Amino acid sequence: MQTLTVAFYSDPGHGWIAVKRKLLKSLNIADKISHCSYQRGNTVYLEEDSDANLFIETMERQGIAVIADFKHTDKISPIRSYQSYCVI
């Protein structure tokens, strides 16, 4: 099985995995991501409760295991100030 390493950002209250928007489009799930996720530039920060799971499950169906590279802060993550996700 192939692997893809993604950054998993977390703060004391929540977590997000960072993926490129074009990958969501190529997987045909860009329109299934909720407004609880965030975006900045071409990167989408998938919230950990459902959107990240949708991404991981979709990748696994493609034969690709997702590996998280954890990045934690004890402060409020700046991701919370990014624009809410919307399909472009």
- Name the residue ranges covered by the structural domains of the chain: 2-74
Instruction: Give the gyration radius of the chain's Cα atoms.
Output: 12
pLDDT at 86: 93
pLDDT in tens, 10-20: 999 999 999 99
Cα–Cα separations (whole angstroms), residue 83 to 55, 86, 88: 20, 9, 13
Q: Which fold has domain 2-74?
A: Translation Initiation Factor Eif1 (3.30.780)
Whether the predicted model's global pTM rises above the 0.75 cut: yes
Question: Could you tell me which residues come within 8 angstroms of residue 41 by beta carbon, excluding any fewer than 6 positions away?
Answer: none
Q: How confident is the model at residue 55 (pLDDT cuts 50, 70, 90)?
A: very high
